[in-house]
């Protein structure tokens, strides 16, 4: 059987739309206005969109985009469909939609058809843009393995995120227009744990091996995510980690009662099974340099060192014995070091590190641990769940309180002197300043003080051979789209660029870095086609859904959980996961949200999804697809032997002075005897 490709050389497209006309004629589409006088002209299977002007590699380039199904080798839309209405034909490789099986993802005909073309708010809210609606819909039907595989298309760490993600997807969930948001995070954890603790955890497919070597510095969520996606493309990836364990903040910055080490190590193992080598105990800049790695053939680097160096309080007495920086405390405890803080411990700060530190202090034997925070409770940046669980465990949070100095005796912490604070005028961000009240000083006797007011990055990995530059905040300066630094072969992302953020945001950075590095090595444009503008569904269908209470995550009782580092949240049962998944109101269409090429459309009048079928009946009978049959006026649509097509395009490039590269989204595949 021969292989044939349908290729749209998108940068050569004039936008003449001859292919649209050919597509419409092939499927005998009547004039759209004949049925819907107020509607716009529509092409059901292929469209040419105006996609310019754009700045591509610093140049103004007017572009058009041919939107057509690419008939992927491993179609995500097939995985995403909860109705099994999409399949890949084994004979031809053509991806087909069964319109009889498709139910428009529970669309109510005439109520929300046009909205189904847009994106569900949960996917937009997720920094990694997981196809949440699709995997929740699959879970509701008991298709747990299919749901897990879909999550793994965009995130390598669903068990970890199912525990410690701050779940912005739930904040945006439209189920709250009926009652409460769907417990998306809890469903994700159930699906991920079911697979992770099975006999054969899912390891994604990866492409054939590439020769190029890539170095990733830092094994936190950003670094390992980039490694995951690059390994799936077949690259030889080595991750360098200066700590004795891999995982970064996931392994040493989050207590076991929130994220068990076994969960982290199991998900990291799957990344390694893709061929990623992780070298722990290696400090880049000291044990080996970037220049040495370049000389050894490394083609690209990703700096993902995180932000694990604690910021100081800047007060008198900070050098006393008993002042224990929050990140140092969490790291030492997670690495198995015995820690004794004393009877009374004050944690200074209001973020998640502060919450983790104070709860850890309680579990390491301190009789009383409490929080000092300079602003109000409502302004605390820690997650709502973390604050609530702190309070359930009897931990007091003293707000509008700020340390003035730490007092010692014989070189050891004895007390902390604090100011009372009051709300002042707004600062540049619009948030009211906290101003100390004159004469309000008071003493709090303590045995230890734990600063947890923020972290910064340690850039010792950079040598004189690097041209990278840092911002005034100590973060790496990168192109915001491509994450490329001033060194063309060095990319950076995660906390090293943004400052301390969340795991899911680091995962998103790892995704983008992997895309950029792949393009860099292949000599493609780093910026082209990277400006996706998400349009959220607003008028969702609610007519068929009755109020149903959101299921709450089961937890160990507070009195019991403070006695150990056992995981506090025990997870959903199968019945709970399915019941909660059925609360999803199916805002969008799962397949449309899955497709990375905008190639699937929603017919709001027929309430079905539709897409190019590569003229299936023509191809299996030895004919060309309608759009490729000498139709294109700019000769940018080809169908036939891949080698012959590539030679034609190379010749055209020469004639155009090298302009007109084929970007990854321009290629479709079909198989069959022609």
pLDDT along the chain (674 residues), means of 10: 69 83 78 47 71 66 78 92 94 89 87 82 96 98 97 98 96 93 98 97 88 96 98 97 96 96 98 97 95 96 91 93 96 95 97 96 96 94 93 96 96 96 80 86 96 88 88 92 96 94 96 96 85 84 87 95 95 98 94 90 84 87 84 84 77 61 47 48
- What's the CA angle centered on 478, arms 476 and 480, to 5 degrees? 130
Q: What domain range is 506 assigned to?
A: 213-308+457-522
Q: Residue 263's closest CA among 251, 274, 272, 271?
A: 251
pLDDT at position 542, please?
A: 82
Residues 488 and 407 in one domain: no
Provide the token pair at 49.
């969109």
CA–CA gap between residue 598 and residue 66 (Å, rounded): 10
Q: Residue 527's closest CA among 537, 515, 544, 535?
A: 515
Q: Is 644 exposed, middle or buried (0-12, 13-18, 19+ CB in 10 A)?
A: exposed
Query: CATH number, domain at 436?
Result: 3.50.50.60
Is residue 594, in this structure, part of any structural domain at all? no
Residues 340 and 256 in one domain: no
Residues 297 and 319 in one domain: no
Across 277-386, where does the E strand assignment appear? 277-280, 298-303, 309-310, 344-348, 368-372
CA–CA gap between residue 220 and residue 311 (Å, rounded): 20
- From 504, 522, 540, the end of a domain falls on 522
Q: Is 53 exposed, middle or buried (0-12, 13-18, 19+ CB in 10 A)?
A: exposed
Residues 268 and 317 in one domain: no
3-class secondary structure, 556: coil
pLDDT at position 662, please?
A: 46
Using a CB cutoff of 8 Å and minimum separation of 24, what contacts does 636-640 make?
Answer: 636/8, 636/9, 636/10, 636/12, 636/13, 637/6, 637/7, 637/8, 637/9, 637/19, 637/66, 638/5, 638/6, 638/7, 638/9, 639/4, 639/5, 639/6, 639/7, 639/670, 640/4, 640/5, 640/674
Residues 285 and 255 in one domain: yes
- From 501, 522, 543, the end of a domain falls on 522
CA–CA gap between residue 222 and residue 179 (Å, rounded): 35
- From 456, 474, 497, the end of a domain falls on 456
Q: Which residues are paired to 658 by β-bridges?
A: none
Residues 381 and 408 in one domain: yes
Provide the token pair at 92.
């031809």
Find all residues with CB under 8 Å of 530, minimum gap 6, and list them: 481, 482, 515
Find all residues with CB under 8 Å of 270, minimum gap 6, and list them: 156, 201, 202, 203
| Cβ atoms of 205 and 74 closer than 8 Å | yes
Instruction: Kindly provide the b/e burial profile for residues 165-197, where b requires at least 16 CB atoms within 10 angstroms of the residue's own CB.
Output: bbbbbbebbbbeeeeebbbbbbbbbbbbbbbbe
Residues 247 and 276 in one domain: yes
Calculate helix-pair angle for 352-363, 384-392, nearest 10 degrees: 20
pLDDT at position 674, please?
A: 44
**Cα first-last separation, the chain:** 9
């Amino acid at each position: 059987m021969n292989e044939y490709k349908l290729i749209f050389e998108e940068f050569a497209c004039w936008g003449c739309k001859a292919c649209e006309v050919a597509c419409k004629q092939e499927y005998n589409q009547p004039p759209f206005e004949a049925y819907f006088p107020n509607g716009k002209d529509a092409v059901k299977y292929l469209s040419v969109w105006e996609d310019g002007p754009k700045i591509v590699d610093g140049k103004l380039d007017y572009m058009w985009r041919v939107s057509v199904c690419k008939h992927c080798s491993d179609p995500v839309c097939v995985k995403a469909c909860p109705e099994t209405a999409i399949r890949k034909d084994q004979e031809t490789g053509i991806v087909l939609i069964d319109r009889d099986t498709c139910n428009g993802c529970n669309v109510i005909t005439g109520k929300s058809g046009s909205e189904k073309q847009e994106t569900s708010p949960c996917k937009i809210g997720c920094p990694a843009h997981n196809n949440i609606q699709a995997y929740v819909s699959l879970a509701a039907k008991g298709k747990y393995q299919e749901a897990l595989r879909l999550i793994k298309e965009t995130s390598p760490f669903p068990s970890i995120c199912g525990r410690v993600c701050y779940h912005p997807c739930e904040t945006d969930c439209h189920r709250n227009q009926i009652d409460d948001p769907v417990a998306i995070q809890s469903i994700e954890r159930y699906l991920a744990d079911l697979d992770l603790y099975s006999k054969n955890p899912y390891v994604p497919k990866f492409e054939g091996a590439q020769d190029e070597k890539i170095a990733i510095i830092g094994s936190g969520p950003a670094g390992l995510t980039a490694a995951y996606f690059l390994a799936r493309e077949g690259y030889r990836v080595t991750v360098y980690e200066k700590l004795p364990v891999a995982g970064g903040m996931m392994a040493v910055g989050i207590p076991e009662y929130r994220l068990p080490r076994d969960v982290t190590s199991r998900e990291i193992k799957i990344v390694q099974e893709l061929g990623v080598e992780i070298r722990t105990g290696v400090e880049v800049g000291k044990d080996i340099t970037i220049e040495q790695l370049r000389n050894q053939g490394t083609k690209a680097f990703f700096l993902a060192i995180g932000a694990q160096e604690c910021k100081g309080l800047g007060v008198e007495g900070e050098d006393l014995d008993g002042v224990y920086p929050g990140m140092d405390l969490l790291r030492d405890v997670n690495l198995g070091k015995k820690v004794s803080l004393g009877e009374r411990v004050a944690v200074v700060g209001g973020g998640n590190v502060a919450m983790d530190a104070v709860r850890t202090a309680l579990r390491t034997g301190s009789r009383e641990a409490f929080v000092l925070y300079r602003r109000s409770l409502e302004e605390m940046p820690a997650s709502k769940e973390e604050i609530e669980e702190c309070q359930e465990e009897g931990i007091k949070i003293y707000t509008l309180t700020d340390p003035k100095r730490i007092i010692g005796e014989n070189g050891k912490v004895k007390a902390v002197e604090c100011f009372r604070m009051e709300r002042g005028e707004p600062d540049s961000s619009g948030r009211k300043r906290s101003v100390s009240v004159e004469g309000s000083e008071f003493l709090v006797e303590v045995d230890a003080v734990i600063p947890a007011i923020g972290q910064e990055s340690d850039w010792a990995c950079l040598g004189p051979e690097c041209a990278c530059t840092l911002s005034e905040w100590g973060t790496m300066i990168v192109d915001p789209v491509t994450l490329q630094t001033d060194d063309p072969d060095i990319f950076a992302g995660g906390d090293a660029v943004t400052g301390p953020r969340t795991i899911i945001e680091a995962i998103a950075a790892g995704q983008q870095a992997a895309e950029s590095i792949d393009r860099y090595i292949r000599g493609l444009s780093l910026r082209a086609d990277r400006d996706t503008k998400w349009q959220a569904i607003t008028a969702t269908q609610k007519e068929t859904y009755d109020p149903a209470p959101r299921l709450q995550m089961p937890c160990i009782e507070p009195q019991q959980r403070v006695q150990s580092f056992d995981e506090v949240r025990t997870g959903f049962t199968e019945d709970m996961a399915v019941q909660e998944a059925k609360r999803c109101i199916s805002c969008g269409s799962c397949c449309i949200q899955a497709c990375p090429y905008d190639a699937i459309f929603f017919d709001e009048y027929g309430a079905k999804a539709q897409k190019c079928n590569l003229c299936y009946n023509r191809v299996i009978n030895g004919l060309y697809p309608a759009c490729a049959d000498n139709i294109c006026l700019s000769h940018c649509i080809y169908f036939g032997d891949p080698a012959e097509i590539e030679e034609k395009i190379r010749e055209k490039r020469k004639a155009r002075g090298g302009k007109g590269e084929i970007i990854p989204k321009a290629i479709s595949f079909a198989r069959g005897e022609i």
